Structure 1
Amino acid sequence: MTMTHRYEDVWVSTADPSVIGALRRAAVALATASGFDQNRTGQVAVAVTEAVSNLVKHAVGGAVLVRHHLERPGTVELVAVDRGPGIADLGRALRDGYSTSGTLGIGLGAIARMATGWDVYSVPGRGTVLVLHFTADGLPGPPLRVSGLRRPIGEESVCGDAFAFSDDGDAVSVLVCDGLGHGDLAAHASREAVRIFMEDPHALPASALERVHRGLGHTRGGAVAVVRVGRESVTFAGLGNISGWIAHAEGRQGMISLPGIAGHKGRRPRQYEYALPPHATVVLHSDGLTDRWHPASFPGLFAHSPAVVGATLLRDVGSRRDDACVVTVKQGQ
């Protein structure tokens, strides 16, 4: 299974109630295009309406993304984030009949039952991240291993960061590129990096990075990292300021990226191998996310799905003054 990011993630603010209908229609369009029947499409519409309505009524700084799921293109995914008030008792919120005013827990149990899969991370006072996905047949499929999220600088519509990944069953290979600067020229450089990487996505990271480095000479260039995540080890090669981390509940380990700009200057890429502790999450991100975060600041987060981990980091350590991209990978089973 392979994936390239050829479209823009569109994050929609929930400050205006009119977004409820707009996001419902977007989700229905994706479900219809994916072959969902009328009954299942109706469930998607209800779940998305309820989830977004909760943010509109009760959340602070809410934003929602609706898209095809990256690992399963025929699946509809909703990612919702906010900055408060959070859910103090998640178990209670999931029980039917829980409808205390002023909480994001309203209807959460019903929403979860309509979804094929869901995950939520909430800290009172800091906010909630909710991820839902819906399949046509309602069957969950194998565990989800990879998620990637992007967000352009400010109010721009084009993001200069890009990513791609490919899963060969034994390992997941990932590229992240931060095109130099912003806008169309930065996006062109990062799309070229994705195109070159996907010509042979399962090459060793140093070899893949060397091809990208040579191939970006006609572009602005950018910071690029390639990682291969296996069951017990991680191999990483980076050029420029893409941050790579092996994170778990107790801490994180940084991975070595060499200075330079892919396509223009930099030493010959080198790769480094690291042990992958049980239950760890590999995180790659551009400098649109600060690297001054630590797992201890996010109690329990790294037990969650890749999408929830990535969305939480984008919300809490991402900057609106730069393009931002984060990719998260869990170990194989």
Structure 2
Amino acid sequence: MGLSILGSLTQVLPIEDESQVGHARRCVQRLAEQQGFDATDAGRAALLATELASNLLKHAGRGELHLRVLPNSGYSGLELIAIDRGAGFDLHHCLADGFSTGGTQGIGLGAIKRLADVFDVYADSRGAAVLARLYPRSSAACDLRWGASQHSLHHDPACGDAWYLAYDGQRISALVVDGLGHGELAERAAHAGTQAFAQAPFADPAQVLEAMHVNMQGTRGGAAAFAQYDNGALRFSGVGNIGAHLLAPGSSRGLASHPGIVGGQFRRVRPFDYADVHANLLVLYSDGLQSRWDLQQYPGLMHQHPALIAAVLHRDFCRGRDDVTVLVVALETLSG
């Protein structure tokens, strides 16, 4: 398997009244059609959007629907995440058809689970997040366990953060870049770094950083960190204030970056090697996210889909004064 995923902003649809349910349905159906979904699959996507958006109003009063295209080999999928700050709900009962906390028929979560190719949900007293991924039924899709939540400051169309994810057989390489500041000039710096990284994401870390450094010269420069995973071992390299953690049940390891600015000035960077990290979670994030998060405070969350983890971390720890990116990748053996 060889797959390269160039990062993109999360599309956010506010859901605060009934009229926005219809808008969400139309947006998702149009997005599905643009990705080559046939009429049946595009209709399935529209129905998922309707159920997710309606559930936000019924159970939380308001929330957001997050949309993302999922590139894959020869086809694309769609990701929908409904996220709110409501009181949560009893998952066991809500997944059963006929149970409702909102006085409705109670078919929402059950219908979503049946319609989606990948379904996951997390809820506690801070709110709920419901994930649905779907792929064209003709694609024989294999879902990859990664998730990203990326948002620009004040919904600016230009984002100073960028991310990139590459799969090559059993190898995984993940990058987050944060251009200095925000807006168009920061975006230019981040994209310059990403373009260089994409040329050889599995090359020697010193060579990768040097290529990024050269390509980011003449821009504002920025912070960058990347991790290369292969056969249970991980090699991490970072410059600047990109946060990075390896998570396993009951443990969290912070990954150290070196001081400096890529495209500006930094000392020679020594990569750090970590053995036996198979089945760990890798979390990379820009400084638009607070660093004080702890998944131990979210019982069971680290066992959920990485896309849910990224969305919940963004919801609860976004600083609100900078672009923000959270990239979560399951380090696991890939089939096919």
Give the structure 2 partner of residue 134 of structure 1: 134
Instruction: State the distance in 1 between where 2:322 and 2:185 align.
Output: 15
Equivalent position of 2:227 in the other structure:
227
Deviations 1:276-328 (A, max 9, x none): 44531000000111111222111111111111111111111122111100111
1:84 to 80, 83, 86: 86
Once the two structures are superposed, residues 143-170 of structure 1 have per-residue CA deviations (whole angstroms, 9 ceiling, x without a partner) of: 4232222011134332211101110012
Structure 2 counterpart of 1:3, one-letter code: I
> Aligned partners of 2:267 and 2:22: how far apart in 1?
51
Question: Measured at CA, do residues 229 and 75 of structure 1 come closer, stay the same or move farther in structure 2, by a change above 3 Å?
Answer: same
1:79-133 CA-partner distances (Å, limit 9, x unpaired): 2211112122x12111111123279x7510111101111111111x211111111
- Amino acid aligned to 1:282: L
- Look up the match of 1:93: 94
**Partner amino acid, structure 1, of 2:56:** L
Note the C-alpha offset of 1:228.
0.8
Whole-Å Cα distance in 2 between the matches of residues 210 and 59 of structure 1?
48
Q: What SS class does the counterpart of residue 154 from structure 1 fall into?
A: helix
Deviation at 1:331, TM superposition (A): 1.7
Q: Match of 1:43?
A: 44
Partner of 1:67: 68
- TM-score of the superposition, structure 2-length normalised? 0.92
SS in 2 for 1:75: strand
TM-score for the superposition, normalised by structure 1? 0.93
Please give the secondary structure, in 2, of the residue aligned with 1:163. Answer: strand
Local SS of the residue matching 2:329: strand
Identity %: 37
1:301 to 1:57, Cα distance in 2 relative to 1, 3 A: same
CA contact under 8 A between 1:117 and 1:133: conserved in structure 2? yes
Q: Measured at CA, do residues 60 and 194 of structure 1 come closer, stay the same or move farther in structure 2, by a change above 3 Å?
A: farther
Matches of 1:107 and 1:61, distance apart in 2: 16
Q: Which deviates more from structure 2 when the two are superposed, residues 151-160 or residues 313-322?
A: 151-160
Rounded Cα–Cα distance in structure 1 between residues aligned with 2:206 and 2:120 = 35
The separation in 2 between residues aligned to 1:102 and 1:228, in whole angstroms, is 49
Pairing 1:283-298 to 2, within 5 Å after superposition: 283-298=283-298
Counterpart for residue 180 of structure 1: 180
Runs of 5+ unmatched residues, structure 1: none
Q: In structure 2, what residue type is equivalent to 1:119?
A: D
Structure 2 runs not aligned, ≥5 long? none
Residue 27 of structure 1 pairs with residue 28 of structure 2: yes
Is 1:14 matched with 2:44?
Answer: no
8 Å contact kept, 1:116–1:140: no
Where 2:128 maps in the other structure, the secondary structure is: strand
What residue number does 1:263 align with? Answer: 263
Distance 1:206 1:310 in 2: 29
Equivalent residue letter for 1:298 = Y
Aligned residues: 330
- What letter is aligned with 1:24? R
Of residues 39-48 and 175-184 in structure 1, the stretch that sits farther from structure 2 once superposed is 39-48
Q: 1:205 to 1:15 in 2, by over 3 A?
A: farther
Residues in 2 aligned to 1:33 and 1:12: alpha-carbon distance in whole angstroms: 18
Specify whether residues 154 and 61 from structure 1 end up closer, same or farther in structure 2 by C-alpha distance, changes over 3 A only.
farther
> What is aligned with 1:274?
274
C-alpha distance in structure 1 between counterparts of 2:102 and 2:138, whole Å: 31
Alignment partners' CA distance in 2, 1:250 and 1:41 = 41
Q: Give the whole-Å Cα distance in 2 for the aligned partners of 1:106 and 1:96.
A: 5
* Aligned-partner Cα distance in 2 for 1:112–1:10: 22
Q: Please list the CA deviations of residues 48-82 of structure 1 after superposition, one character each: whole Å capped at 9, or x if unmatched.
A: 10111111333266121222114565111112211
- Is the contact between residue 116 and residue 138 of structure 1 (CA under 8 Å) also seen in structure 2? no
CA distance in 2, matches of 1:119, 1:139: 21
Structure 2 residue matching 1:122: 3-state secondary structure? strand
